Amino acid sequence: MDPVRVVGGGPGGMLLAYLLARAGIPVTLLEGHRDFDRRFRGDSLHPWTLETLDELGLADDLLRLPHFPARYFRFHTPAGTLTPTDYGALDSRFPYVALMPQARFLEFLAAKAAELPTFELRLGARVTGLVVRDGVVTGVEVGSAVGGAVGGAVGGEELPASLVVGADGRFSKVRTLAGLPATSLGAQTDVLWFALPRRADDPPEADVDLYFGADRYVGLLGGPDEWQVGYSLPKGGYAAVRAAGVEPIKEFLREHVPWLADRADLLTDMNRTTLLSVDIARVERWYRPGLLLIGDAAHVISPVGGNGILMALQDAVAAANRLVPALRAGGVHETDLSAVQQDREAAIREVQAAQVRTERRVARARDRDRTIAPPRFLRWVFAVPGVRKRSAKRNAYGPNPPHLSHP
């Protein structure tokens, strides 16, 4: 049997490759970069993720690595603080979201996968084409990465595959090569990310928080050593923000996140920021004969709520549940690939619909010069017993979460 070729070493691709190798399926993970160390990637490991890793015997080792356990998700508004989500109320061994640099998580899984005899990792392997015979994808063409993270590829090698899995993110090369376009659902916001150091006397309750101003908000993600700070701006508004420079951003922090004011001046220029062009998009069909898309390659998730990693990891589990028995039986058929999409599509549609509603509400408020913060009456809603737990469960597990079904 030719190996399964998984393209993209993000969370979804890495977990799927590990699960296939653990089941004895030959698998090669092709990552275009030469390492996993990129800034401002999602760092959220939800309770579902930790429980799944625990079932695989990996959670305890993973959580020995530095991480920050976030119990709450909060909205800080000019009228006060709202706490819609309390992960501590969950009936779970892991009643929190573990915030860990994604590179550390990927390196951990790669090391565990490397212990398995049917796993191969190839870094710096950039896919440049698909091999197609009689309408079926039967392999990939791979070159060596040059020019750093955004460079091209040199050389060329044809790798046969029993299946190609595109897990190469929101700008998926595999998706483009396969002729499976993604349709944008209408994101209205972009996010400018930067990092500020964490200090011992920072508020201990600042976990995963949003701080609202009149027409902007800042999102904070806590980490062991630093805060990732996301400054919102209207879709397409980056040129105006860049022209204004960092002073308005620093002033927003001083006014709305005052405990960060003492280090706001560390943001010295716009070169210390990274623009994330937010998108919410979905591919109509996630597969073609011999090829499957998962994660952001199949459905781009907004970074709000950290759902992108969760959805990609759940795609990996759902895919493994279908692919392992098919590969053991001799090969993957189009019906197996269709089944993966059927297993996951309803959940993805539900998550994306909620994100689109939020984007539209924020855009309407911004256009009308009204505050984009949540309405005040939600303070009473979130005070009702059980509401925070239900919110936590919804975010911790997502809709219809899959479970490992094969040995």
The tens digit of pLDDT for each residue in 246-264 reads 999 999 999 999 999 999 9
Buried b (16+ CB within 10 A) or exposed e, 138-149: bbbbbbbbeeee
Half-sphere CA count of 192, side-chain side, radius 13 A: 25
Do 118 and 175 belong together in one domain?
A: yes
- Give the domain extent around 128: 4-67+99-185+279-364
The answer to whether position 392 is within a domain reads no
Q: Which two tokens stand for residue 97?
A: 């979201």
Q: What is the pLDDT of residues 315-366, one digit of tens each?
A: 999 999 999 999 999 999 999 999 999 999 999 999 999 888 887 877 776 6
Contact 45, 311 (CB under 8 A): no
Quickly count helices (H) and strands (E) in the chain: 11, 22
Q: What is the CATH number of the domain that holds 344?
A: 3.50.50.60
Give CA–CA dist 144/265, Å, rounded.
Answer: 41
Give CA–CA dist 90/185, Å, rounded.
Answer: 32
The answer to whether position 62 is within a domain reads yes
Going by C-beta distance under 8 Å and a sequence separation of 6 or more, which residues neighbour residue 18?
109, 112, 113, 116, 119
Q: What is the pLDDT of residues 92-119, one digit of tens each?
A: 999 999 999 899 999 999 999 999 999 9
Do 116 and 247 belong together in one domain?
A: no
pLDDT band, residue 276 (cuts 50/70/90) = confident
Give how far Cα 293 sits from Cα of 57, 184, 212, 228, Å: 27, 17, 36, 29
Q: What is the pLDDT of residues 131-173, one digit of tens each?
A: 999 999 999 999 976 654 444 566 689 999 999 999 999 999 9
* Share above pLDDT 90 across residues of the chain, in percent, rounded to a whole number: 68
Do 285 and 327 belong together in one domain?
A: yes
DSSP designation for 375: P
Do 118 and 31 belong together in one domain?
A: yes
Q: What is the CATH number of the domain that holds 202?
A: 3.30.9.10
Do 35 and 117 belong together in one domain?
A: yes
Q: Which two tokens stand for residue 155?
A: 């050389």
The answer to whether position 385 is within a domain reads no
Do 285 and 271 belong together in one domain?
A: no
* pLDDT score of 288: 98
